[in-house]
């Protein structure tokens, strides 16, 4: 059976910051120690709540069930040692400051007590001054420990917030880096497109002869793409296209490549491109046959590029390239063809305008020779 007796002593006015009495647990403490501690004043003027038990088992039970600021325990107990109780107290979430009651402890005993967690040693028959000094030292250490615990707690919260901020910033940096990579890639594509456009624009600059325009365009395409079959188809009527110029420099294409360029492609692909505004890139035989509306693919084993050359929302020509699939067109060739298409469309529109103007001039010059215009 556990016997408890508690004494509460109020020393001086209670401070506004003191929320509860200072709790002491005395384990088999001599009456002199109990009286000296009960009569000792606290530095903060706080009340003392003193609880007494007799054995180590009772001390452990009380420590587990209650919350104590100071543990005062005799070195030798009937069912154990005071250091054993101190060690148990050291495992608690809120560890109390421990005082060991021992008369003339040896250096070895003092060292063992310090290693276990004892804050101070009190003789078995202390006077009030000795007890008050011991209590002051213990309370100073308790206050320092509580302050350190609060500081550690605040630091942990701060570290948690900092870690969350670090993760958020890291994610933002990852997004920013991804955006920068995407922007760089887009800028590189735009710069490459600009370079391709500038090179081709320089080749056909001020060219107003249709034959020369087509020849220079095909030469530029072959220069950028390497050996390939290529043709430019021009509209011959509302629904028909004919070959305006072609080149067959693919050594693996054989003699049938020219026939394909001149006849079969001319009958199918340009008309199919009438409603298309972007580059068509086909690498599969079935896809080529389906797209051309043919029962079988006469470009078997080839890769095909077709792009409409438009100006003022009209298709003025169609540029077609094909070659053996073992020599695929890389991204640079695709960029070159895409860059050429709008420039070729504008150049053809310019040639058409100049041609129409010359026809009109010739017409009006004929009227000046004697004909009269009627309105």
Q: Is 80 exceeded by the pLDDT of residue 369?
A: no
Q: Is 60 exceeded by the pLDDT of residue 372?
A: no
Q: Which residue has the higher pLDDT, 371 or 61?
A: 61
Q: Return the closest-CA partner of residue 47 out of 91, 14, 24.
A: 14
- pLDDT of res. 214: 92
- pLDDT of res. 6: 46
Q: Domains in the chain, please, with CATH?
A: 6-154 (3.40.50.2300), 207-368 (3.30.450.40)
Structure tokens at 153: 């707690």
Q: Residues of the chain with pLDDT > 70: what percent? A: 82
Q: Across the chain, what does the average pLDDT equal?
A: 80
- pLDDT of res. 213: 92
Q: Is 50 exceeded by the pLDDT of residue 368?
A: no
Write out pLDDT tens, residues 75-132: 888 888 889 998 998 888 888 889 888 887 888 888 888 888 888 888 877 877 887 7
Q: What is the pTM of this model?
A: 0.51
Q: Which residue has the higher pLDDT, 57 or 296?
A: 57
Average pLDDT estimate for 201-230: 88
Write out pLDDT tens, residues 143-194: 888 888 889 999 999 999 999 999 999 999 999 999 999 998 888 877 877 8
């Amino acid at each position: 059976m556990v016997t408890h007796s508690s004494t509460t002593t109020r020393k001086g006015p209670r401070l506004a910051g003191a929320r509860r009495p200072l709790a002491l647990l005395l384990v088999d403490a001599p009456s002199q120690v109990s009286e000296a501690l009960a009569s000792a004043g606290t530095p903060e003027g706080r009340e003392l709540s003193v609880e007494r038990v007799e054995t180590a088992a009772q001390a452990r039970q009380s420590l587990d069930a209650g919350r104590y600021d100071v543990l005062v325990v005799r070195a030798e107990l009937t069912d154990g040692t005071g250091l054993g109780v101190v060690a148990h107290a050291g495992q608690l979430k809120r560890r109390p400051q421990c005082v060991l009651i021992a008369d003339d402890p040896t250096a070895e005993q003092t060292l063992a007590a310090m290693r276990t967690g004892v804050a101070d040693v009190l003789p078995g028959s202390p006077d009030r001054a000795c007890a008050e000094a011991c209590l002051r030292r213990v309370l100073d250490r308790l206050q320092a420990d509580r302050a350190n615990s609060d500081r550690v707690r605040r630091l942990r919260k701060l570290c948690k917030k900092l870690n969350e901020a670090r993760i958020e910033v890291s994610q933002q940096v990852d997004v920013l880096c991804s955006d920068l990579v995407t922007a760089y890639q887009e800028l590189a594509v735009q710069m490459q497109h600009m370079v391709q456009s500038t090179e081709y624009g320089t080749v056909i600059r001020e060219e107003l002869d249709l034959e020369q325009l087509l020849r220079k365009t095909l030469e530029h395409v072959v220069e950028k793409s390497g050996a390939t079959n290529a043709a430019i188809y021009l509209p011959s009527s509302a629904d028909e296209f004919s070959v305006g110029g072609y080149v067959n420099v693919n050594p693996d294409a054989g003699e049938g490549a020219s026939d394909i360029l001149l006849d079969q492609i001319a009958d199918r692909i340009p008309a199919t491109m009438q409603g298309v505004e972007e580059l068509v890139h086909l690498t599969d035989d079935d896809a080529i046959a389906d797209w051309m509306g043919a029962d079988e693919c006469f470009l078997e084993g080839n890769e095909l590029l077709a792009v409409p050359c438009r100006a003022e929302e009209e298709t003025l020509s169609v540029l077609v390239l094909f070659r053996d699939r073992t020599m695929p067109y890389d991204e640079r060739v695709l960029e070159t063809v895409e860059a050429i298409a709008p420039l070729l469309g504008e150049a053809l529109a310019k040639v058409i305008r100049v041609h129409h103007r010359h026809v009109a001039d010739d017409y009006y010059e004929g009227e000046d020779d004697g004909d009269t215009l009627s309105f």
